[in-house]
Amino acid sequence: MENFIIQLATMAFDPLAPLSNLFGWLTRILYGFFGNYGVAIIMLTIIIRGLLIPLNVKSQKSMLKMQALSGKQAELQRKYGDDKEKYQEALMEMQKENGAGGLSGCLLPFIQIIFIWPIWRIVSGPLIYLSQISIENMESMIALAQKQELIANTVTATNHIGLIQVLNNNAAFMKECIDKGFIAMGQMIDLHFLGLDLTITPWNILSGNFTSPLMWLPYMILPVLVLVLNFASMQLTKILKPGYKEEQEAKKRAKLNPARKDQAAVDSTTEQTMKMMNWMMPLLMVWTTFTLPSAMGLYWFVGGLMGIISQLIVYVLFSRPYEKKKAELEAKKDAVFKKKPALEAAGAGEEVSGNGKKNKKKK
């Protein structure tokens, strides 16, 4: 009953506690199966990002439908002119009737931001989520370590990376905690992956005892890889976007056309806003990778790879067939327009010939 009350109190201050507990349970299962902390984080990331693929597909389908409705959207702009309120109402109605638009495009990055919290709770508190040490025992060990001036006052039950390092490096303190019943020897887990200690924070690494570049360089490379990978993902998203080439050509024409000067300025402002939003996520990733344990960087790195794979899958299954079908329809239209002038010219020639005969008859 007491533990249940503590959990309810924790949830009151942490509305994402159920999600953290779910991710923690899943990580614990994966760790028990693979026996490796890094592999457990990798598999957790693959599962989470894999579950988000349907949302990515839905977002891409919505974008393709918006592309298909671009002609009708232009008609609405001409119909309502400067009446933006009626235009927006008509546009939303058209999108609703055709199943386009919606919040699916904004939902994916929003969910990714929400997922930062439970992942952070796991990587900063593995003894609770993986070893299942109670919060009471964690607080007792932290109080004991602080009393002996082994850790800083910033270490808490939910963010106890500093305590793990003391337990690993101070045999006397570890024995005392075992003797007091705060922790069992079997509850200490290996938090390394490919020789890297995933509890180490890259931001604080230079102030440690890492004298050799071979010791600290791998930890500093991970945030850089996360940034490069997400920049590549941004560029790929832009290039694989349906109608990307046509959109770039339309922007160039709009800039050169005085009549489209005002609309080009609006489009430019919108584009700048979108760029700022697109850069927020990579910057957030790099910041968390630098300031949180390296396990967080591993999560972002694998998540970036999964994002690129997801983009390629969506492109092959939906975007490329759409572009191919669109090119075929445009080719048929061009063929019709080329035939029409020829038929009109031929018809005009026959009419002149007929008139000529009639004139001869009158004479």
Helix ranges (DSSP H) in the chain: 2-13, 17-34, 37-68, 70-80, 84-98, 104-124, 126-129, 135-147, 161-169, 171-179, 213-239, 244-256, 261-291, 294-314, 320-362
CA angle (21 as vertex; 15, 27 as ends), nearest 5: 140
Asked whether residue 42 is assigned to any structural domain, the reply reads yes
pLDDT at 207 over 70: no
Q: In degrees rounded to 5, what are phi and psi of residue 238?
A: -70, -45
Confidence label for 99 from pLDDT (cuts 50, 70 and 90): low
Q: Give the 3-state secondary structure of residue 192.
A: strand
Asked whether residue 14 is assigned to any structural domain, the reply reads yes
Window from 51-60, 218-227, 331-340 with minimum mean pLDDT: 331-340
Q: Based on C-alpha coordinates, what's the Rg of the chain?
A: 31
Asked whether residue 251 is assigned to any structural domain, the reply reads yes
pLDDT in tens, 150-166: 998 888 888 899 899 89
Asked whether residue 253 is assigned to any structural domain, the reply reads yes
CA distances from 85 to 70, 80, 146, 214, 223 (A): 19, 9, 62, 61, 45
User: What is the Cα–Cα distance from 120 to 20, expressed in whole angstroms?
Assistant: 9
Asked whether residue 354 is assigned to any structural domain, the reply reads no
Residues of the chain above pLDDT 90, percent: 25
Measured over the CA atoms of residue 209, residue 212, residue 215 and residue 218, the dihedral's sign is positive
> Average pLDDT in the 253-261 region?
55
Asked whether residue 162 is assigned to any structural domain, the reply reads no
User: What is the Cα–Cα distance from 239 to 248, expressed in whole angstroms?
Assistant: 11
Task: Look at the chain and report how many structural domains it folds into.
Answer: 1
Tokens coding 336? 């019709």
Asked whether residue 318 is assigned to any structural domain, the reply reads yes
Instruction: State residue 3's pLDDT score.
Output: 40
Window from 140-144, 166-170, 252-256, 336-340 with minimum mean pLDDT: 252-256
Asked whether residue 99 is assigned to any structural domain, the reply reads yes
What's the domain range around 83?
Answer: 2-130+189-339
